[in-house]
Amino acid sequence: MTLILTALAATVTIVFRFAKQKTAEKLRLGLLALMYSGAALMWTVDGFAAMFAGEPFVELQNPSVVADDAFLGICVLFLGAAIWAVGLIFKKATKKAV
C-alpha cells in the first residue's frame, strides 16, 4: 500500500510538473516528483524481494496490514512534502538574502 500511494503521488507530481510548467517551476515540483519516484522505485525492489521470499508483491489480503501500510504511506507522503517545503522555504530565504 505504501508503494501504491507513493507511486500514485509520484505520477501526479510528474504529470503536474509537465502540465503546469510555470507553477511547477515556481514551486520546484520537480524535486518532489524525484523524491517520490526514488522512493517508489526502491519499494518496487522491496516488493520483488518479498515476492522472491514467497510473500505477495503488495499485501492486500490482511486488512490490518493494509491499514497500517496505508497510514505509513500517508506519513511518508507528508514527510516527502515536509522535506520539499523546507527546501522551498530555504531556497526562497537564501534568494532574499542575496
Partner 1 sequence: MACFVVPAAEAVVVAIVKKRADKAAKLQAEALACGGANAQTNTEQKARTKTHSGEKISISKKLGWLNAMLWGGTALLFLEHVWHGEVVFWPPFLTAAANPADTAAMLYEIATSGVAMAVLVTLVWAGMAIAADNISWVKAALCKQKEGANQ
Q: Furthest-apart CA pair in the chain: how many Å?
A: 56
Site for partner 1 in 50-79 (CB under 8 A): 72, 75-76, 79
Pull the grid cell for residue 76.
Answer: 511518508
Selection from 28, 30, 3 nearest residue 14 by Cα: 30
CA atoms within 13 A on the CB side of 84: 19
Distance CA 82, CA 67 (A): 22
We find the least distance from the C-beta atom of residue 66 to partner 1, in angstroms, to be: 15
Binding mask 13-52 for partner 1 (x = CB under 8 A): -----x--xx-xx----xx--xxxxxx-xxxxxx-xx---
Binding residues for partner 1, rule CB under 8 A, total 29
Positions touching partner 1 (CB under 8 A) are 2, 6, 18, 21-22, 24-25, 30-31, 34-39, 41-46, 48-49, 72, 75-76, 79-80, 83
